[in-house]
């Protein structure tokens, strides 16, 4: 069964600190892996997208890594800001093209 699991479920950090979110998946074969940021009550916004052959992708303070051998991805946020408070969703696209969403990590950045 294709699954995408994320950890932790929720995380609280202080403004300015770094954090790393984890994503483990069992989808195989897969086309790409994406990280989305979703503010409460809003639509998801894409942060990064990586194919199976890519190891890392950066977007400003966001850096995603992918290990296709262990089927793990991480999203590292550097120098967190209050506006980073949101849900972060890992999404894997299998060969069928239908997106498989992870359950998300709820991040709260406190001053």
Partner 1 sequence: DTEVTQTPKHLVMGMTNKKSLKCEQHMGHRAMYWYKQKAKKPPELMFVYSYEKLSINESVPSRFSPECPNSSLLNLHLHALQPEDSALYLCASSVPGQSSYEQYFGPGTRLTVT
Please report, as ranges, the residues that interact with partner 1 according to CB under 8 A. 31-32, 36, 41-46, 49, 51, 89, 93-95, 97-99, 101-104, 106
Q: How far apart are CA 26 and CA 33, in angstroms?
A: 12
Q: Distances from the Cα of 102 to the Cαs of 17, 44, 79, 105, in angstroms? A: 24, 13, 25, 9
Nearer to partner 1, 42 or 61 (CB): 42
- Decide whether 79 or 95 has the Cβ nearer to partner 1: 95
Q: How far is the CB of 74 from partner 1 (least distance, A)?
A: 18
For residue 72, list its beta bridge partners: 24, 67
Q: Which is nearer to partner 1, 12 or 79 (CB)?
A: 12
> Which region, left, alpha or beta, applies to residue 90 given φ > 0 means left and ψ of -120 to 50 means alpha?
beta
Nearest approach, Cβ of residue 46 and partner 1 (Å): 6
CB of 34 to partner 1, least distance (A): 8
What are the backbone angles phi and psi of residue 82, rounded to the nearest 5°?
-55, -35
User: What is the smallest separation between the CB atom of 105 and partner 1, expressed in angstroms?
Assistant: 11
Q: Give CA–CA dist 103/38, Å, rounded.
A: 12
Q: Considering the complex, state which of residue 13 and residue 49 has its C-beta at the smaller distance from partner 1.
A: 49
């Amino acid at each position: 069964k294709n699954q995408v699991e994320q950890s932790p479920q929720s995380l609280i950090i202080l403004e300015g600190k770094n954090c790393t979110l984890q994503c483990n998946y069992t989808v195989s074969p897969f086309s790409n892996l994406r990280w989305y940021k979703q503010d409460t009550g809003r639509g998801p916004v894409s942060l990064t997208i990586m194919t199976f052959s890519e190891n890392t992708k950066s977007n400003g303070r966001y850096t995603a890594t992918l290990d296709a051998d262990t089927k793990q991805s991480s999203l590292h946020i550097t120098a967190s800001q209050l506006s980073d408070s949101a849900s972060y969703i890992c999404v894997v696209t299998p060969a069928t093209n239908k997106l498989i969403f992870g359950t998300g990590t709820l991040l709260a950045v406190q001053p």
